[in-house]
Amino acid sequence: MALSGLFLCLFLVGHLLGNLQLFVSGQQGADNFNLYAKFMTTNPIVKVLSYLTYFSIIFHMVDGLILTIQNRRARPKKYVIEKGKANSSWASRNMALLGTILLVFIATHMQNFWYVMHFGEISHYEIKGQNVKDLHHVVMSFFTPTSNSYAAFMVGFYVLSMLALAYHLHHGFVSAFQSLGLNHIKYNKIIEIVGAGFSVVVPLLFASIPLYVFIKHYL
């Protein structure tokens, strides 16, 4: 759980850095993003990393499911009154729910862009002799209300999913260090601060991309 979770955190950083290129405007920005997208679908090292990521998501999901089933079985009869918030955070008690939201998000997200990039109808063009797929255009139009009538709904869904990610990570990041026994009175504060920062900054930056594309249309 912890290792797969932390690997997914690393994936998030990489994925975020790549996606932040979407903030670069103009043809130059679009070209760079499309070249980057081509690199990400063809480079063998990236291929290995992507398979590791798929594996981590599946492993994390299955392990989480097993844990949750075992944990429900360990308390077959619930308390009549239970005051969880007196002793633990909401996120820590709802990791499986948050994870399920993330799973729905990941499936939708892959369908939206990954599927289109690999198997969907997508326009090609040439940059300095290289044939690239115009994923940049796909992303932009996906979140622009004039080209996608569901754009507002999708922006809302992406932003809410990132909120779920924030809560999942708010517990998960620190939790992983505890699970691995990698903490100590001396470092706990640092892990907590880094974890809290990570769980706010990463989802916030992710969420800002669809919001930016959507709002840009009105400016």
Q: Which residues bind other proteins (CB under 8 A)?
A: 67, 70-71, 73-84, 86-89, 92-93, 95, 171, 174-175, 178-185
Q: What is the longest distance spanned by two Cα atoms in the chain? A: 69
Q: Residue 203's binding partner, choosing from other proteins, ligand HEM, none, with beta-carbon cut-off 5 to 8 A by kind?
A: none
Q: Which does 182 bind (CB under 5 to 8 A by kind): other proteins, ligand HEM, none?
A: other proteins
The total of other beta-carbon atoms located within 10 Å of residue 169's CB is 26
Q: Which does 75 bind (CB under 5 to 8 A by kind): other proteins, ligand HEM, none?
A: other proteins
* 3-state secondary structure at position 201: helix
Residue 83: name its binding partner from ligand HEM, other proteins, none (Cβ under 5 to 8 Å by kind): other proteins
DSSP 8-class letter at 84? G
User: Which three-class secondary structure state does DSSP give residue 127?
Assistant: strand
Q: Which of 173, 198, 206, 214 binds ligand HEM (CB under 6 A)?
A: 173
Q: Choosing among ligand HEM, other proteins, none, which partner's interface includes residue 87 (Cβ < 5 to 8 Å by kind)?
A: other proteins
Q: Is 12 an interacting residue with respect to ligand HEM (CB under 6 A)?
A: yes
Q: Are strands 124-127 and 130-133 parallel, antiparallel or unpaired?
A: antiparallel
Distance CA 119, CA 114 (A): 8
We find the least distance from the C-beta atom of residue 9 to other proteins, in angstroms, to be 16
Q: 2-19 and 44-73 are packed helices; what angle lies between their axes, rounded to 10 degrees?
A: 140
Q: What is the smallest separation between the CB atom of 167 and other proteins, expressed in angstroms? A: 13
What is the radius of gyration, based on Cα positions, of the chain?
20
Question: Residue 93 or 109: which CB sits closer to other proteins?
Answer: 93
**Could you tell me if 122 and 138 are in contact, meaning their C-beta atoms sit under 8 angstroms apart?**
yes
Which residue of 31, 64, 151, 164 would you call a contact of ligand HEM, by CB under 6 A? 64
Q: What's the angle, vertex CA 127, arms to CA 126 and CA 132, rounded to 5? A: 60
Report how far Cα 174 is from the mean position of its chain's Cα atoms: 18
96 binds ligand HEM (CB under 6 A): yes
Binding site residues, ligand HEM, CB under 6 A: 1-2, 5-6, 8-9, 12, 57, 60-61, 64, 67-68, 95-96, 99-100, 102-103, 106, 168, 172-173, 175-176, 179
